[in-house]
Chain A
Amino acid sequence: MSKIHVSAVVNGDPVDFLADPRESLLDCLRDQLGLTGSKEGCGTGDCGACSVVMDGVLVCSCLVLGVEAEGKKVETVEGLADVGALHPLQRKFIEHAALQCGFCTPGILVASKALLDQNPDPTETEVRYWLAGNLCRCTGYDKIVRAVMDAAQEMREAV
């Protein structure tokens, strides 16, 4: 069972790693690349804590094989902030107390950014349905939805 060499671009940086074909992209991000911001809550695509964007598409990295990342661009929570400046979503999550334990937060931030990239003015219902695959057990989602809506408004006004 030999490992396969994978070259990809993660958060703008070229990376190389060796993946067992059975390892998920999440395993590779966490164990090979040390990017532990993406979390495993279920391993079955049901909780969204491992959400990343691959070639522009929001996916659960636990449902992607590491070897499939060959030649792809992957964006994780670690790439959300510019040097010295948080993404508006990150700021609004802190401001609105939209996290308690914080374990689901990386996945929800990545998913929310993917939403706002394609829909800068989502309704509450659109936010809720977009994030239905991101389980949070602490907050009851109220403050998360508010933070996403508020970040969207700020980003619209900044344009």
Chain B
Amino acid sequence: MQYHKPQTFDEAVQIAAAASGVTRFLAGGTDVLVQLRAGIVTPDHLIDLKLIPGVRDITRTEDGGWRIGIAVCGIELGRHAALVADWPGVVEGMQLVGSTQVQGRATLTGNLCNSSPAADSVPGLIAAGARVTVIGPTGSREIAVEDIPASPGRNTLKPGEIIAAILLPPRGARGGDAYLRFIPRTEMDIAVVGCAVSLTLDGDRISAARVALGAVAPKVLLVAEAAAAIVGTALDDKALAALQAAATAASQPITDRRGTIEFRKDVVAVLAARAARIAYDRAKGASK
């Protein structure tokens, strides 16, 4: 295995293009190292992106959104008060990944590229409408986060393409988001079910919403029907019931060592309602 330390994204792309065999990128490393140790994937080339200038920065974009560097770890995300104020659901999703120790390494980008359907940080990004900039051999492009995961462990990035930053839209006034996941313990588990809700209010009514579900399909789902169930409502019981029904209906989970089909379909409804309430309260200005 060769270890590379590019100083720019262009250099990283060149290294990747010239490399033969299996190539992996290191943003945080929490997945790559586990796979390496278990002998699941032993890359021929490991390209460490953490030394590229700016990859640990969180900056406000011109439109009032956020640009998050690819090597920003969970702890750094959580310490950024202004970002937390805007997108608490995105941050809490990231902060649920692993332990305190893992938070010192794991990144949004790594969690996204690993493309686990149970990735805790991805539903929040999708609900927020986040996009990523991608740099590759043929130039750069922007992609919506929901278009990155393809299936468990596989993403849609083309060979040699690298995510260069994560872009969050402006939160705007009267918006709120939340992410909840179900695990059997209080910490350290992979999500059995996850649900993120982001919404905007007009008065008491929800004017726009996005609902994303984790661990109930081969990839994290953006469920338009679930969002539609609450848009135009003040999140009354009827709306919540419709949201729950839509979330369950959209889920196509499997039974595995972490949960059953029936359990996941039940709990996705529970979490959808709970997350929606939190997002709604946050939008109304409740403490984040």
Contacts and interface: CB of A to CB of B under 8 A. Distances in A.
B101 A133 contact: yes
B1 A21 contact: yes
A74 to B, nearest CB: 13
A137 B12 CA distance: 43
Contacts of B34: 43-45, 63
Nearest to A44: B34
B75 to A, nearest CB: 6
Interface in A9-49: 21-22, 24, 43-46, 48
A80 interface: no
A64 interface: yes
Most chain B CB atoms below 10 A, which of A57, A59, A62, A68: A59
Interface residues on A, range: 20 to 34
A111 interface: yes
B38 A58 contact: no
Q: Kindly state the interface size class of chain B when it binds its partner.
A: 20 to 34
B133 interface: no
Interface string B124-139: 0000000000000000
B186 A132 contact: yes
Given A22-B1, A67-B3, A68-B29, A59 B187 contact: no
B187 A129 contact: yes
B48 A68 contact: yes
Interface string A65-79: 101100000000000
A159 interface: no
B51 to A, nearest CB: 9
A52 B166 CA distance: 29
A149 interface: no
Contacts of B48: 68
A43 B102 contact: no
Contacts of B37: 24, 43-44, 62
B242 interface: no
- Name A's interface SS: mixed
Given A44-B34, A45-B30, A60-B101, A133 B42 contact: no
A129 B48 CA distance: 30
Contacts of A131: 100
Interface in B12-42: 26, 29-30, 33-34, 36-38, 42
Given A62-B37, A64-B29, A132-B187, A45 B3 contact: no
Interface in B65-107: 73, 75, 98-102, 104-105
A24 B130 CA distance: 33
Contact of B98 (A4, A45, A65): A45
A55 to B, nearest CB: 10
B101 A51 contact: yes
B287 interface: no
B99 A45 contact: yes
B188 interface: yes
A133 B104 contact: no
B38 to A, nearest CB: 7
Contacts of A62: 33, 37
Interface of B: 1-3, 26, 29-30, 33-34, 36-38, 42, 46, 48, 50, 73, 75, 98-102, 104-105, 186-188
